Structure 1
Amino acid sequence: MKLLFICSKNKWRSPTAEKIFHLRNDFEARSAGTENGARIKITAGHIGWADIIFVMEKKHMRRIRDKFGNLLDGKKIVNLDIPDDYQFMDEELIDILEVRVAEQIQFD
C-alpha cells in the first residue's frame, strides 16, 4: 500500500511520517508539502501514486482539492488533525502518528 503524507512545508510532520511508515509492513511512504517553499512540493504524480493520502490539517485537504480536483476521485483522504507544533522525529509527534494512522490501516 502506498501512503502519502502532506503538510505545509514538508519539513517536520510529513517527513517524520514518511520515515516511520516507509517499508513498515511493506508499505511505501512518501511526503510532500502544499506551499510554494515546500522542501518537496506535491504534484499530480504524488496523487496518482498514492493509495491513501494523509493530510495534517484541514487546510491541506482544501489546498489539494483546489489544485488537483478530479485527480482525487476515488482516493481516500484522511485528515490526521496534527497542528504544526512539532519538530522532525519529535517523540510526541511519532506517538500521535502511530495512533492516528493505525486507526485507518492495519499493521501486523
Structure 2
Amino acid sequence: MPHLLFICSKNQWRSPTAELLFKNHAFHQARSAGTSDKARIRISQKLIDWADVIFFMERRHKDITAKRLNLTCKKQVILDIEDNYQFNDPELIGILKLALTDFL
C-alpha cells in the first residue's frame, strides 16, 4: 500500500484536507505535515522515510524540507496550491481531486 505524504506550512488547511481525501482509501495511506515551527504536525525524517510519494503544496515547502531532511530516492510532486483556502474548502477539494486523479 503506497504511502502519500502531503506538506504545507502549518499543517492546518491544505495538507490535512489532502490527507482527508485518502481516509479509508483502498490502495493508499496518507499523512500530512508542515514545515513551520508552529505546524500542527512538523515534518520529520521519520515521516519522509515512511512516504513513497511526497506532495508539496508549494515549491518553497520542498526547498525548506530539502535543507533540513534527506529527500533522496523519494518521488516528489509540487502541487502549486497557494495558501488561499481553509480546511476542507470545496474549491480546494476540487483542485486536489484534479491534481491527484492518478492516486484517488
Inter-partner Cα distance in structure 2 for 1:97 and 1:85: 13
Letter in 1 for 2:87: F
- CA root-mean-square deviation: 1.0
Offset at 1:89?
0.4
Identity value in percent: 50
Q: 1 or 2, which has the higher helix percentage?
A: 1
TM-score, normalised to structure 2's length? 0.94
Q: Which residue of 1 aligns with 2:7?
A: 6
TM-score, normalised to structure 1's length? 0.91
Letter in 1 for 2:71: L
Which 4+ residue blocks in structure 1 deviate beyond 4 angstroms? none
Matches within 5 A, 1:18-97: 18-68=19-69, 71-97=70-96
Gaps in structure 2 of 5+ consecutive residues: none
Gaps in structure 1 of 5+ consecutive residues: none
